[in-house]
Amino acid sequence: MRLVALGIDHTRAPAGLRESVAIPAERIPDALRTLRKAFPGQEFTILSTCNRVEIYSASDSDRINAPRRFAEGADLAAALASFHGISTDEVLKHSSVHHDEGVVGHLFRVSSSVESVVLGEGQILGQVREAYRQAVAAQSVGWVLHSVFQHALKVGKKVRETTGLGTGKLSVASVAVDLAREVFDHFADKTVLVIGAGKMAELTLTHLSALKPGRTIVINRSLPKARQLAERFGGSVLEYDRLNQALIDADLVVSTTASTQPIMDLETFTRIQRARRYRLALILDIALPRDFDDRIGQLDQVMLYNVDDLRAQVERTMAQRRGGLSAAHRLIDTEVAACLASLRHQREASSVLKALGEHADRLRESELDNLYDRCPDLTEKQRQAIERMAFRLQNQMLHEPRAALRTRSRNVESTRFSLSEAVAELFGLFGSHSYRRKAYQKGPRASHEKQPVQKLVD
């Protein structure tokens, strides 16, 4: 069994190269077909995101009859370069190559977002799932990558749920929205006012739209920019000279202007709050310099948070995630060992299943030959009926053992004798006790014992 992965990511390659080798979703089926044509009999999956492009390749060497050798890292780099019409040397210069056990570990770390630009971000797990889905649709995965990617998706979810790596938000805009959720129970009757129409306003509105507020107002000195932003999110626009009235109506204020001076002083907002009848106001001032006088936050029923407050929350979240990193690595290492053991067990079961089928075929054909010798007067129609009956009987008798072998082989067994080995021993499939002696010449295996790479690789 062989595994190889070629990767170009944010740790090794400049943004320009990552953009050059990125494969759009609609072109991935073509790329998978190209790889399968170049390396017949092998399995492939392609993961392409804004921060990484990775090709995963696997094969069960016993099943490859094609004359072409197994694809190594240089071959995958050449195929990727050729697909984009760029230099292979440039791809190799900025790529990393993983083999066998290293492939499994790398994929598990990627799916767990341990190797993401933003530690613990949740998007990568969905991207790995989509890469696997596309490969399945393109029929470019076999039992090896099926097993590895299904395990990777479970590990990614488990790491996020058990280590705290996915806790909290790591952008000022998302933290601001989380804070709004803590302050208000519902938003259907709330008015959101966004002051400014730049990138930060757009990002914050993207997060705020998930809250489905009753009304959204955008105010900006440039009316066309305000209108363009408001239309995207189903909001309305007010001219900048109506800011005070908008503040009276608003329950949640997000201020993101580029003003060099505060746009709201304490005296003015004191009057505004009185006009609001001291209704609760949440103000998220994420502008630099600040748009609202800090003293406004001391007024009754006013909650004012500036960008430093929100960034402090981001830092606390990041520190919490870093604290879970060691636990995440330990969990990943354990799951890598379990995955490798599962692959080994499945491969053993595959060999046993093949041998069991051949053993049953030989017995069936031998008994049919004996029957025909004893009953030479059987017609061709009678012989065909007998052969069909014998074949069906053979399949029915082997159905349960085959199903049990396939199911049990996906799980690492803690017993000294695995089901595969027991079946081989019972039926004498590999020369009486030779299979057992070969399997246990180095002693028993623990259920999650980390096996050397040579145990996985032929």
Strand partners, 306: 285
What is the reported pLDDT for 315? 80
pLDDT in tens, 405-415: 667 665 655 44
Q: Which helix (H) or strand (E) holds 342?
A: helix 325-374
Give the residue carrying structure tokens 């990552």: 18
DSSP 241: G
Closest among 94, 89, 122 to 19, alpha carbons compared: 94
DSSP alpha helices (H): ranges in 184-306? Answer: 199-208, 223-232, 243-249, 266-275
pLDDT in tens, 288-307: 899 999 999 999 999 999 98
What is the reported pLDDT for 437? 40
Distance, CA of 120 to CA of 106 (rounded, Å): 15
pLDDT in tens, 23-77: 999 999 999 999 999 999 899 999 999 889 999 999 876 444 444 467 899 999 9
Query: Which residues, 6 or more positions from 369, have their beta carbon under 8 angstroms from its beta carbon?
Result: none
* 185 CB burial (10 A radius; 0-12, 13-18, 19+): exposed
What is the reported pLDDT for 320? 79
Q: How do strand 281-285 and strand 302-306 relate by DSSP bridges?
A: parallel
What is the reported pLDDT for 360? 83
pLDDT in tens, 75-124: 999 999 999 999 999 999 999 999 999 999 999 999 999 998 777 887 89
Residue 263 has pLDDT above 50, yes or no: yes
Question: Which regions of the chain carry the CATH code 3.30.460.30?
Answer: 2-167
| Residue 137 pLDDT class (50, 70, 90 cuts) | very high
CATH number 1.10.3720.10 is the correct assignment for the domain at 2-167 = no
| Entry pTM | 0.62
pLDDT in tens, 191-246: 999 999 999 899 889 988 889 999 999 999 999 999 999 999 999 999 999 999 99
The arithmetic mean of pLDDT across residues 129-135, rounded, is 97
Question: Which regions of the chain carry the CATH code 3.40.50.720?
Answer: 172-319
Among the options 50, 66, 280, 393, which is catalytic? Answer: 50
| Residue 337 pLDDT class (50, 70, 90 cuts) | very high
Cα distances (angstroms) measured from residue 193 to each of 188, 258, 359, 393, 443: 14, 16, 76, 74, 70
Distance, CA of 257 to CA of 307 (rounded, Å): 12
| Token pair of 146 as six digits | 């099926």
| CATH number for the segment(s) 172-319 | 3.40.50.720
Closest among 331, 342, 343, 310 to 113, alpha carbons compared: 331
**Catalytic residue at 339?**
no
